[in-house]
Amino acid sequence: MDNLGKLDTIGITERSRWPNDATSAVDYIHSLHVIHGDIGAHNFLIHNDGRLVLCDFAGSGMEGLKNTVTAGSRYSHPDSYGIDHETGPEDDVFALGTVLYEVYFDKRLFNDQTSGEIRRKLRDRQYPDLSAVPRPLRNVIEKCWFHHGYKANEALTDLALIESGENGDTLDLPENLGWISVNGTRD
């Protein structure tokens, strides 16, 4: 990625678009009945204009068919841990919630935990506190994580509340970009 040496030059305006960029990408592929299967911060590139672009479709599949890869533990829906689980849109949407969390908090979900510990926490519904997140974004993250059947296009509509400034909510992202993975790790 050519921008790796320039991450500190990406302004707050560009970064404030990242939740919408990530959600738009997932909505778009779902409109084509494509299931990514490995949505995570590690599979978004930063374009030259500072926008996020979804990448790595190697393990993707068409809706209703089995994907060849699954998401890392922090991006995996807790109901997907079975061997015969067929990856669907709800798995991508759950992972999108984690990406949105990571974009806002500038850190990976359960960063210091092992894959087993992460799976246990997700299975037991022990999610981090979201009270500091602006209401529209918090609502989207919670719906991605907890509302079975929530769709990316619904998340996009809900995120529009942030861009419109409705209810006085804004998206103030932290200055540090430490969550961005340079080495491609994806737990």
Nearest one of 141, 132, 121, 144 to 169, comparing CA atoms:
132
CATH code where residue 97 lies: 1.10.510.10
Please state the domain count of the chain: 1
Question: Over the stretch 97-123, which tens digit does the pLDDT of each residue have?
Answer: 999 999 988 889 999 999 999 999 999
> What DSSP assignment string belongs to 12-79?
HHHHTTHHHHHHHHHHHHHHTTEE-S--SGGGEEE-TTS-EEE---TT-EETTS--S----GGGS-GG
Q: What is the pLDDT of residue 64?
A: 78
Quick count: other Cβ atoms within 10 Å of Cβ 1?
A: 12
Q: What is the pLDDT of residue 15?
A: 83
Q: What are the backbone dihedrals phi and psi of residue 46, each rounded to the nearest 5 degrees, phi first?
A: -100, 115
User: Which token pair is 156?
Assistant: 């996009």
Whether 176 is in a domain gets the answer: no
Whether 173 is in a domain gets the answer: no
Give the pLDDT band (50/70/90) at residue 71: confident
Domain that holds residue 52: 12-168
Mean per-residue pLDDT over the chain, rounded: 84
Whether 38 is in a domain gets the answer: yes
Residue written as tokens 């599979």? 43
Whether 5 is in a domain gets the answer: no
Helix axis angle for 135-146 and 89-105, nearest 10°, is 140
Tell me which of 19-28, 167-176, 177-186 is least confident.
177-186
Whether 185 is in a domain gets the answer: no
pLDDT over 90 for what percent of the chain? 56
Tell me which of 30-39, 79-88, 99-108, 119-128 is least confident.
79-88
Whether pLDDT at 5 is above 80:
no
- Pairing outcome for strands 44-46 and 52-54: antiparallel
pLDDT over 70 for what percent of the chain? 80
What is the C-alpha to C-alpha distance for residues 52 and 45, in angstroms, rounded to an integer? 6
Whether 44 is in a domain gets the answer: yes
Whether 56 is in a domain gets the answer: yes
Whether 28 is in a domain gets the answer: yes
Q: What is the pLDDT of residue 165?
A: 61
H-run or E-run covering 171: none
Quick count: other Cβ atoms within 10 Å of Cβ 41?
A: 24
Q: What is the DSSP letter of 133?
A: S
Nearest one of 78, 84, 77, 67 to 33, comparing CA atoms:
67
